[in-house]
C-alpha cells in the first residue's frame, strides 16, 4: 500500500493544542515558591508573572530572578491583579488559608503546597469556598509525579495486580533535615512533614478503597533531645481499607545528619491477587563521593561528601533546568490550565482525606488505640 504524501501526513498528525495564555501569581518566595515561579517563568503559556512575600526584599529578589512583571509584600495586591488567572500558594503552612480564600473568592484556580490546611475544619472551609466559587483547588503532593510512581499507577490502572490485598510505604530522612523543618514549624511532626506524601501516594494508587481504621505506634528520642517535644524519631501505622486490605506506613526522620540522601529515601510495595509491585526509591543506584562535597537541596549550608544522586525530594538541577517531580507537577498544572490536559494533582477532596488519615495517625499515637474513620471535623 503506497504511503500518503508527506504533506498529508503532516496535516493528519500535527493537530495543534489550543493554548490559553496565562497570568500566574506565586505567593511565598521561599524555596518551593522560587521553584514554582521559575517553572512558571519558563512555561510557554505564561505571559505574566507576579510574586509576593511578606519580606519585600525577598519578593523583589525573586522577581528579578524570574523576570516577574510585578512583585509586592501584599498578597492581595498580587492576587487581585487583572492579569492574574491562577495562583500558587507557597507560604509557610500556617499561612495558607487567607491567600487561598482570596484567590478562590476572585474566581482564580489555586495550587497550594501541602498540606492544604492543618485540620479538617480548615480544609472544609477551603473546600466550601472552592465549591461556592466553582473554582479548581489543587494541592501539591509531588510523589505522584516521580517516574517510578507514575509507572506504578499505570500498572494498577490496567489491573495487572488484581485486587490489592496489602502494601507498605516507608520513607527515611536525615535528622539534619528534620531539625531544619521543625525550626521553621515547631508544631510539625515527621508524619505531617514526610509520611503525608506517602499517605497521599497510597490513596492515589488505590483510589476506590477508602481507609476505615488507623493504628499507629511511635518511638525515639533523638529529635525530642534536639528540643522538639512533639516529634518522634520513627512512626509506623497500619491502615485498614474498606475491603480489608492492610497498608503499612512508616517514617523515620532521625537518620544520621550526614546520611547520603538529600531528601526522601523511600520504598513502596503492593501485593495483589494477581501480582506484586516493588518500588525501590532509596537512590542507592547512583552514588557519588567527592572531596569537594555536594550541596544539600534543602539545607544550603549543609554539604555532604557522599551523596545519593537524584535523591532531592523536589528534584535536581541538570543541564540548566530543574528536573524532577516538582517541575513535572508544575508543568502538568499549567498545561491543564492552558490547554485542558488532564490534571494529576491532588484535588481538594484528596487533600482533605490525606489530612484526615495523618491526624488519625497522630491521634492513635497519643491514645495508644485504633482510630476509626471518618473523623469528626
User: Which residues, listed in sequence order, are joined to residue 287 by a DSSP beta bridge?
Assistant: 308
Q: CA-to-CA distance for 129 and 196, rounded, in angstroms?
A: 24
Q: CA-to-CA distance for 157 and 343, rounded, in angstroms?
A: 16
SS3 312: coil
Over residues 163-195, the pLDDT tens digits come to 999 999 999 999 988 888 888 877 777 777 789
Q: DSSP secondary-structure letter at 300? A: T
Q: CA-to-CA distance for 159 and 363, rounded, in angstroms?
A: 34
At the topology level of CATH, where does 22-140 sit?
Rossmann fold (3.40.50)
Max CA separation in the chain (angstroms): 76
Cis preceding-peptide flag for 115 (omega within 30 of 0): yes
Which residues are CB-contacts of 8 (< 8 A; sequence separation ≥ 6)?
Answer: none
Over residues 111-135, the pLDDT tens digits come to 999 999 999 999 999 999 999 999 9
Instruction: Pinpoint the residues of the chain covered by CATH 3.30.360.10.
Output: 143-313+347-367
Q: CA-to-CA distance for 202 and 209, rounded, in angstroms?
A: 10
Domain 143-313+347-367: assigned CATH number: 3.30.360.10
Which grid coordinates belong to 243?
475491603
Over residues 24-56, the pLDDT tens digits come to 999 999 999 999 999 999 999 999 999 999 999
User: Is the confidence at residue 95, as pLDDT, over 90?
Assistant: yes
pTM of the model: 0.92
Instruction: Pinpoint the residues of the chain covered by CATH 3.40.50.720.
Output: 22-140
Q: If you average pLDDT over residues 273-296, what whole number do you get? A: 92
Across all residues in the chain, what is the average pLDDT?
92
Amino acid at each position: 500500500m503506497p504511503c500518503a504524501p508527506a504533506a498529508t501526513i503532516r496535516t493528519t498528525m500535527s493537530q495543534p493544542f489550543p493554548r490559553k495564555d496565562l497570568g500566574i501569581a506565586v505567593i511565598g518566595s521561599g524555596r518551593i515558591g522560587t521553584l514554582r515561579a521559575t517553572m512558571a517563568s519558563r512555561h510557554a503559556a505564561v505571559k505574566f508573572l507576579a510574586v509576593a512575600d511578606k519580606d519585600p526584599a525577598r519578593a523583589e529578589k525573586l522577581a528579578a530572578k524570574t523576570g516577574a512583571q510585578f512583585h509586592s509584600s501584599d498578597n492581595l495586591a498580587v492576587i487581585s491583579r487583572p492579569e492574574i488567572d491562577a495562583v500558587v500558594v507557597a507560604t509557610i503552612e500556617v499561612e495558607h488559608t487567607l491567600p487561598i480564600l482570596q484567590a478562590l473568592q476572585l474566581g482564580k484556580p489555586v495550587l497550594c503546597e501541602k498540606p492544604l490546611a492543618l485540620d479538617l475544619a480548615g480544609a472544609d472551609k477551603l473546600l466550601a469556598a472552592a465549591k461556592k466559587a466553582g473554582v479548581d483547588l489543587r494541592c501539591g503532593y509531588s510523589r505522584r509525579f516521580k517516574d517510578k510512581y507514575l509507572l506504578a499507577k499505570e500498572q494498577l490502572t490496567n489491573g495487572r495486580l488484581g485486587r490489592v490485598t496489602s502494601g507498605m510505604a516507608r520513607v527515611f530522612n536525615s535528622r539534619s533535615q528534620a531539625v531544619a523543618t521543625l525550626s521553621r514549624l515547631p508544631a510539625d511532626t515527621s508524619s505531617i512533614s514526610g509520611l503525608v506524601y506517602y499517605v497521599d501516594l497510597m490513596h492515589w494508587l488505590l483510589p476506590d478503597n477508602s481507609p476505615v481504621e488507623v493504628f499507629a505506634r511511635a518511638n525515639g528520642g533523638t529529635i525530642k533531645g534536639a528540643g522538639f517535644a512533639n516529634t518522634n524519631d520513627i512512626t509506623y501505622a497500619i491502615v485498614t481499607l474498606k475491603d480489608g486490605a492492610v497498608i503499612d506506613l512508616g517514617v523515620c526522620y532521625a537518620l544520621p545528619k550526614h546520611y547520603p540522601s538529600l531528601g526522601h529515601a523511600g520504598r513502596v510495595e503492593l501485593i495483589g491477587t494477581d501480582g506484586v509491585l516493588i518500588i525501590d526509591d532509596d537512590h542507592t543506584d547512583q552514588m557519588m563521593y567527592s572531596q569537594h562535597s555536594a550541596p544539600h537541596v534543602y539545607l544550603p549550608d549543609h554539604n555532604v561528601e557522599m551523596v545519593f544522586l537524584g535523591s532531592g525530594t523536589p528534584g535536581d538541577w541538570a543541564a540548566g533546568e530543574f528536573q524532577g517531580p516538582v517541575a513535572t507537577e508544575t508543568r502538568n498544572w499549567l498545561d491543564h490550565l492552558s490547554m485542558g490536559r488532564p490534571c494529576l494533582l491532588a484535588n481538594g477532596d484528596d487533600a482533605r482525606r490525606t489530612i484526615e488519615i495523618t491526624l488519625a495517625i497522630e491521634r492513635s499515637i497519643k491514645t495508644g488505640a485504633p482510630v476509626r474513620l471518618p473523623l469528626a471535623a
